[in-house]
Amino acid sequence: MRRFLLGTYLLLWGFAGSAPAGYASPIGPSGGLHSSAPLGADDFMSGVMPPPGVYWLNYSFHYRADRFVDGDGQHVRSGPLADFSARVSGNVFRFFWMPRRDIRLLGGRWAPDFGIAWLDKRLKVGGRWHENSGQGDLIFAPVNLFYRWDDLHAVFYVDFIAPTGEYDKHGAANLGSNHWTIKPAALLSWVKPRWEATLIGNVDFHARNDDFIDPRSGRETTHRPGKAFHVDYALSWRPAPTVNFGLQGYLWQDLERDRVGGERVADTKTRAFAAGPGLRWQVGKLALVAKAQYEFGARNRPEGANYWLRFVAPL
C-alpha cells in the first residue's frame, strides 16, 4: 500500500525568512530548499493496492542536523551557519479511501487521499534558536490510479500542497511554504515471495511566494523555488509474509536555481542522498514501520538524519 505522507514536506526546510549577509546560500539558510516535497516517506511495498476501506496513516518523525553544507560539500564553518542546528519533530495524519466500487480512470483503479501535519520546529542560526509549532501545509491527492501487472504493482498520482501552514516573511522557522506545489509521481513495487523492491519518482513544480524578503537587500520581493526531482527507494527481504527488513532512503536533486524577483540566484540548487535500515511488521490489519535515514553527499543545505515510527490502520 502506498505509504502516503504529507509530511516532511519539507517540514524542516521552510527556513525562508529574513537573514543577514554571510549565509552559504544567497537567499538564506534554506539554501534554496523551500520545497514542500516529502523525502523518504514511501518505502516497502508501497505500490500494493489495499483492500477497499478507509485507512488512517499516522507518521511520527524526528529530524536532526548539526551541520550546513555548502555547494562544494564542505561543512560551513564561518558566518551565521557555522553553528547551525535543526531539531524538527512532528506527527502527520493522513487518510486514504479505497472505494468498494471499482472505479477506473485510464485503466487504473481510482482512490483519493489527504493529510495534515502538526509540527514542532527548532532551528539554530547565527547563535540563536528560533522555535515554532503548529499546523503545517495541507496535502491532497484527488486522483491515485492503481495498476498491477503480475508481480509489478504501480500507482500514478498527483499531490497538491496548499499553503495553509503559518508563514511569516520575517521568521526563520516557518511551518508553511506560502506557495502552492504540484507534484506528479510514479510509484512502482516489484513484489516476490521473499523480497521486494520499491521506487517512487517525483517532480515538484512550485508557484510563487509573493511575500518574501530578500536577505541580500532586506527588500520585499517574490520567490519561486526551482523545479526539483526526488526519489524514495526501498529494497527488502521477507523472511515471513508479515515481515520486511531492508535498506531504504531517498535522493533529492534540484533541477534549476530559485528565482528571486524574477532572476535566477546562484548557489540555490540543492542535493542530498540518504540511506538506512527499515523494518515493516504486519500485525493483523495493522502495519507498523520503523526506519532511520542518514544523509550524505549534501550540497547547499543541512545534512542530518531522519527517524520514523508510523502505522497504517483501517478505520
pLDDT per residue as tens digits for the range 137-191: 999 999 999 999 999 999 999 999 999 988 888 887 888 889 999 999 999 999 9
Beta strand pairing call for 85-98 and 53-69: antiparallel
| pLDDT band at residue 117 under the 50/70/90 scheme | confident
Query: Which pLDDT score, from 0 to 100, does residue 190 have?
Result: 97
Residue span of the structural domain in which 263 resides: 53-314
**Residue 293 pLDDT grade (very low, low, confident, very high; cuts 50, 70, 90):** very high
Q: Is residue 60 part of a domain?
A: yes
> What distance in Å separates the CA atoms of residue 284 and residue 126, rounded to the nearest whole number?
49
Q: What is the largest CA-CA distance in the chain?
A: 60
CATH for 291: 2.40.160.40
Q: Is 266 part of a structural domain of the chain? A: yes
- The overall pTM is greater than 0.95: no
Establish if 4 belongs to a structural domain. no
Domains in the chain, number: 1
210-256 pLDDT, tens digit each:
999 887 788 899 999 889 999 999 999 999 989 999 999 999 999 99
Residue 29 lies in a domain: no
Residues 235 and 130: their CA atoms lie apart, in Å, by 37
User: Order of strands, edge to edge, in the sheet holding 209-214?
Assistant: 209-214, 219-224, 259-260, 263-264
Q: Does residue 210 sit within a domain?
A: yes
Query: 553544507: which residue's cell?
Result: 69
Residue 49, φ and ψ in degrees, nearest 5: -70, 130
Considering only residues 103 and 91, tell me which one the structure prediction assigns the higher pLDDT. Answer: 103
| pLDDT reading at 11 higher than 80 | no
Distance of alpha carbon 182 from alpha carbon 178, whole angstroms: 13
Query: Does a structural domain hold residue 44?
Result: no
Question: What span, in angstroms and rounded, lies between the C-alpha atoms of 208 and 222?
Answer: 7
In a domain, 207, yes or no: yes
Domain membership of residue 23 (yes or no) is: no
The stretch 306-310 carries a mean pLDDT of 93
